[in-house]
A and B are shown apart, each in its own frame.
Chain A
Amino acid sequence: DAKTTQPPSMDCAEGRAANLPCNHSTISGNEYVYWYRQIHSQGPQYIIHGLKNNETNEMASLIITEDRKSSTLILPHATLRDTAVYYCIVDMDSNYQLIWGAGTKLIIKP
């Protein structure tokens, strides 16, 4: 089973910040949190990852709580092209596996 919990769907207005939550209460100390997205059945696309500190890149920001039990992906100015399924994943070192849940379907509305 996936080690993460995400809401099945969310809406966001175009131009606003999209905040996607993820719970990973059983995360271990050396496990990273990855975010990917999948646009209309294309191959998943890497967005960002983090361990303890907040991270930011040209696509998004990742906020990880101090206890590391949850995180939030922030798309600062959502566009229609950001409509996709967003996956929050906790990597599992020992099995070389990314455990994928069902993700959050984010719909950006004009």
Chain B
Amino acid sequence: NAGVTQTPKFRVLKTGQSMTLLCAQDMNHEYMYWYRQDPGMGLRLIHYSVGEGTTAKGEVPDGYNVSRLKKQNFLLGLESAAPSQTSVYFCASSLRVSGIYGYTFGSGTRLTVV
């Protein structure tokens, strides 16, 4: 049981380039999330999804897009990367939102935009 898998683990982009981060979960969770974490800070929610085919904005959505075409996958896209998007990106999933269900996180993607 792999849990939540993120690819790639590391990436360096030039300003203006685009890329897609992939998150895959094998726990049949309904809810999926993308967070970013800057040095010394807590996690901030970028976008989330409450089910296949649905997405919504979180706290810091600007500059990112997401898609949830399949229940097990949640993609995060950067259309035109900026240095301010240098961060560690974490994907998470949960069986249900809030209540008694915990969140499972991936190991992170370390992105540097130069």
Contacts and interface: CB of A to CB of B under 8 A. Distances in A.
Interface in B45-104: 45, 48, 50, 56, 58-59, 88, 90, 92, 97-100, 102-104
A42 B40 contact: no
Contact of B108 (A36, A41, A96, A97): A41
Task: Give the interface size class of chain B.
Answer: 20 to 34
A93 B104 contact: no
Contact of A44 (B31, B45, B90): B90
A49 interface: yes
B59 A97 contact: yes
Contact of B44 (A49, A96, A100): A100
B103 A93 contact: no
Nearest to A8: B40
